[in-house]
Amino acid sequence: MNYEEALEYIHNTLRFGSKPGLERVALLLEKMGNPHKSLKFVHVAGTSGKGSTAAMLAACLEAAGYKTGLYISPFVERFNERIQINHQNISDDDLAELTSEVKEIIDTIQTDDPPTEFTIITALAMLHFFRKQVDIVVLEVGLGGRYDATNIIDFPEVAVITPLSLDHTEFLGSTVDKIAYEKGGIIKQGCDVVISSGQPEEGMEVLLSIAKEKKAVVHLANESDIETISMDLLGSEVVYKGCSYYVSLLGAHQIQNALTALTVIEILNGKGYSINSEAASTGLRDVKWNGRLEIISQKPLVLLDGAHNRAKISALISSVDSLLKEKRLVVAMGMSADKEYGFAVEELASRSDKFYALRANTHRALPAEKIAEVAQMHCKSVFLHDSMEEALTVALGELGDDDCLVVCGSLYLLGDAKKIILKTLVM
């Protein structure tokens, strides 16, 4: 099996199983020798910020000298981003070899509820991290928590819950308390759990109730412990408990995520890890995270952001209002049809000098015509082109020195958009 065949096999499996539960991943990992039982984890769930927080933690652990696995979803540019060791993506050859091995095991399993796509990817990651003998894995939940395949782990070094809000309501429930119940499912009996600041009251109540039932040790990321000294398009300077840090990821929400990461680091240090302030500073300064207020060009100024739910759109708006207030805003936006696109388009279009409607290359994408229809109610200059490439090429060609192009919405469009933009800028 080569790399392309491996991806085809993974993507052709069911996205969701016929019933919720951990039986599929438990059976598959058992057939593989339970590689996850030899690994240590920081387990990260939440609605917003879980990916950024996971990336920060992995960068800090690596800077402290630990061989660190990072498991994330989804990816922006290449599938291999989902499985990393010391910020290096899994190689094409390793992915192909592991997928072939896992497929052979799956073919021996007699069941009417076969492993799903995410189950297979999770199993691949566990086997890869085990084979490469990582010291610790920062494990991002895919969807929810309680029945997510990553929750097959026995006991995390730390469980982390980042801010909760409504998303994936068709699977997790239509209220924040129901979503909190699902996300809080990663809290294990007696474990340490860090709960980020900014939690809605009803979500916090549920999380604290679960922690009490499980006799977990709760650590609240306290906003009074961190002070923002400066924040601009280069990053943010903060002081946390007397130590200065530079957070390279942009926006006030990333300061909140850095606070969560620093809280986790304190707990890990209490468990025998050695992550000093210098290593944490290096990690927060050097961390990279695709598609989260990512600047891909300075002249002209172009940012990518995968804001796709109400909370993430609100964070993007806050960043636009504070970091780009001296710029004319040009927005190119595409959304998935199952997201709260009306709110998202209105908030961005109403702030835009020009608005370009896009369609992501996915079956879930909302038609660009529908996005344009909503945007026209809030922006005088809305443009609809035959393709994303045409729209972005035109937008780039008309950017002035005082303009900023923000490409945002579905994570599924950002990888293609980035390739188009970088290709256009070098022509």
Integer Cα distance of 414 and 391 in angstroms = 14
- pLDDT at 271 exceeding the cut of 70: yes
The closest of 291, 318, 295 to 306, measured between CA atoms, is 291
Please write the tens of the pLDDT for every residue from 200-234: 888 899 999 999 999 999 999 999 999 999 999 99
What does the pLDDT look like over 62-91, one tens digit per residue?
Answer: 999 999 999 998 888 899 999 999 999 999
Least confident range from 93-107, 157-171, 301-315: namely 157-171
Q: Nearest to residue 408, comparing CAs of 346, 335, 314?
A: 335
pLDDT higher than 60, residue 119? yes
At 34 the pLDDT is: 97
Q: If we measure between CA atoms, which residue out of 287, 349, 277 comes closest to residue 313?
A: 349
Least confident residue range of 226-235, 325-334, 362-371: 362-371
pLDDT of residue 73: 86
Token pair for residue 336? 């998935």
- Six-digit token pair at 119? 């189950």
% pLDDT > 90, the chain = 76
Q: What is the mean pLDDT of the chain?
A: 92
Pair 233, 204: CB distance under 8 Å: no
Q: Range with the lowest mean pLDDT among 8-17, 120-129, 132-141, 214-223?
A: 8-17
Between CA 412 and CA 331 the distance in angstroms is 17
- Residue 57: enclosing H or E segment and its boundaries? helix 50-63
CA angle 42, 16, 183 (to 5 degrees): 35
* pLDDT, tens digit (0-9, with 9 covering 90-100), for 35-50: 999 999 999 999 888 9
Residue 161 pLDDT > 60: yes
- The yes-or-no verdict on residue 169 having pLDDT over 60 is no
**Helices (H) then strands (E): counts for the chain:** 15, 17
According to the model, what pLDDT value does residue 17 have? 57
Q: Record the tokens describing residue 211, joined without a space.
A: 């922690």
What pLDDT band is residue 15 in, cutting at 50, 70 and 90? low
Whether 367 shows a pLDDT value over 60: the answer reads: yes
User: C-alpha angle 138/50/219, rounded to 5°?
Assistant: 80
On whether the pTM is more than 0.85, the answer is yes
Is 168's pLDDT higher than 60?
A: no
Q: Residue 112 — pLDDT band, cuts 50, 70, 90?
A: confident
**What does the pLDDT read at residue 5?**
95
Residue 206 contacts residue 59 (beta carbons within 8 Å): no
User: Rounded to 5, what percent of the chain is helix, strand, coil?
Assistant: 45, 20, 35
**Least confident range of 71-80, 258-267, 302-311, 319-328:** 302-311
pLDDT at 228: 97
Find the mean pLDDT for residues 338-342. 79
